[in-house]
Amino acid sequence: MIARTWLLSLSFGLALAGAAESQTQSFDRAVGLARKYTVKVKVEGTRTDNAEPERYGSGVILSSDGFIATAAHVIGANSEWVQGETDGLLKRTVKVRISDPYGELEDRWRSAIVIKDLPASDVAVIKITGGGFARAECRSLQTVRGTDIYRLGFSVGAASSADEKPGTTAVSELPQNFRGNMISEKGMSGGPAIDISGKVVGIAVNREDNPRFASQSYTEFVRIEEAAALLPKSVGESNCAVGADSVIGGGSPVDITDRLRSLGSTSTLVLQYPDQTVTIREGEYVLDGRSLRLTAKRLIVSGKVTLRSFAENASAPLGQTGNTGGPGGQAGGDGQNGGPGLQGGPGSTGGDGQPGRASGAFLLDVADIIFGADASLEIFANGEAGGRGGPGGVGGPGGAGGAGRNRGGNAVCAGSKSPGNGGPGGKGGTGGKGGNGGRGGDGGQIAYSASLADYVADKKLVLVAPGGRGGPGGASGGGGAQGSGGAAGAGSHCGGGGDAGATGPAGDPGPQGQVGSTGSYGDVRGL
């Protein structure tokens, strides 16, 4: 048994080692491919401060006919360069050295022209003449945290081939950027970040090198979509195509905000955009218990967006009010004093509050989310709160006391008796018990793409499915009105009149209803 366990452990260890070796070999192939389309960029010219700089960077060939992406700060903004007095042209030259089929730099520099730049994202596209160049294939980064990548580029010093460093991705403050936990030297800006298949997912635009704490060093990359959006449409299929609908800043994302506001009568809101980018404007959207199915290639969230199954203050209707108790009878007799009134009947118990409705289900089948600064997406698959219990019925009024009777004597009045007093009023009836609060509705189910787990961990994406709170208990029924005292007996020639009966006490209020139970918590899980 021990030997078998050892063999199993050895087999498992060899399998892991084999998988690691296979991944290393895959990255070796990917780096070999990437060296062929990673270029060195040099910019020479006269700046507006009369300096004559020589600036180096890196770049990526995005099309076989010579369109190259680099960082915008490598070529510099036009305002940095002096213009010629006669021709008005900038006193700046951009040159590129590409690699041969073996990934080694050619001896000569090729002249390049600036096609377009996007300073806000720090990307630019330049072009060299010719054709048949080795070009990159591109891919949108699916998982922002933890994807294995390699960074390639040329440092300022002499290099015969592009230098590479491994690392993993991390979240950046900018929605179009991500980070890699590797050190980069000066001159690496504009170089590619590649995945295990050799496809470009981003371009280096910034570095933070901490000489004392290497673990705090990182390279900032802009997503490749930003650069691909600057390519002319005439380039066609020979370019680094990411897909028109996944290009940030290229093409218009589908705004689904109005669909969330105009729910219609359907019980499930289906938003199907599997090959497109969608966006939701900032705000809170309540689905009134409906289910939501969102399928998209990418979701752009520029502000704080909240989706709720039910509004926080929404609750089910109240329970029914209890009935009023019946009045007390009259018990005045023919005696000297009137009899007491009877107690009023109790109010009936209020009806229970209605239970809250259960939340609908949420399906978030999205490959990636792009968050703007301070943006977040919160989804609450919350059950509706239970309704308040109905108030108890009011107690019935107490009965009136009986009237005192006048009993006259004989002619001489020797045996005459004084008139009788009125009887006391009956006590009011006890109020009915308030109804119990309704049970809260159950929370719904939220299923989300596994690629979104990074955002859940970073709390950019908040997913909760609480049950609705129980409804409060109904108010207690009020006590019945007090019974009136009986009338006094009349006086006669043999004596004065009797006293009126005392007023009865008011009824006691009933107990308050109990609070309803909370609904069950829903299920939140990855697909």
The full DSSP string for 200-246 is EEEEEEEEE--SS-GGG-EEEEEEHHHHHTTS-GGGGGGB----GGG
User: Tokens 């650069």 appear where?
Assistant: 227
Helix and strand numbers (H, E) in the chain are 5, 22
pLDDT computed for residue 81 by the predictor: 83
CB 269 within 8 A of CB 263: yes
And the tokens for 199? 């496809």
pLDDT computed for residue 205 by the predictor: 92
pLDDT computed for residue 3 by the predictor: 44
CB 205 within 8 A of CB 219: no
And the tokens for 220? 């900032």
pLDDT computed for residue 499 by the predictor: 62
Q: How far apart are CA 419 and CA 336, in angstroms?
A: 7
Residue 21: helix, strand or coil by DSSP?
helix
pLDDT computed for residue 123 by the predictor: 93
pLDDT computed for residue 453 by the predictor: 83
443 to 4, 205, 363: CA distances (angstroms): 48, 44, 14
And the tokens for 119? 């300073």
Q: What is the pLDDT along the chain (527 residues), one digit of tens a residue?
A: 344 333 434 443 433 344 444 455 567 888 888 999 999 999 998 888 877 788 899 999 998 889 999 999 999 888 888 887 666 677 789 999 998 888 889 889 999 988 888 888 899 999 999 888 989 988 888 777 888 899 999 988 767 888 888 999 888 888 788 999 888 888 899 999 998 888 899 999 988 766 555 567 889 999 998 888 888 765 555 567 664 333 333 446 888 888 888 776 667 888 888 888 898 988 999 988 889 999 988 888 878 999 999 988 877 677 677 676 666 665 444 334 666 667 666 767 767 778 888 888 999 998 888 887 778 899 999 988 888 877 777 766 767 666 666 555 445 555 555 566 676 767 766 777 777 878 888 988 999 988 788 788 878 899 998 888 877 876 776 766 666 666 666 555 455 556 666 676 766 776 776 777 887 888 888 87
CB 126 within 8 A of CB 60: no
Nearest alpha-carbon partner for 386 in 439, 435, 350, 434: 439
Q: What is the pTM of this model?
A: 0.49
Range list of β-strands (E), 392-490? 445-448, 461-464
Q: How far apart are CA 182 and CA 23, in angstroms?
A: 19
pLDDT computed for residue 258 by the predictor: 86
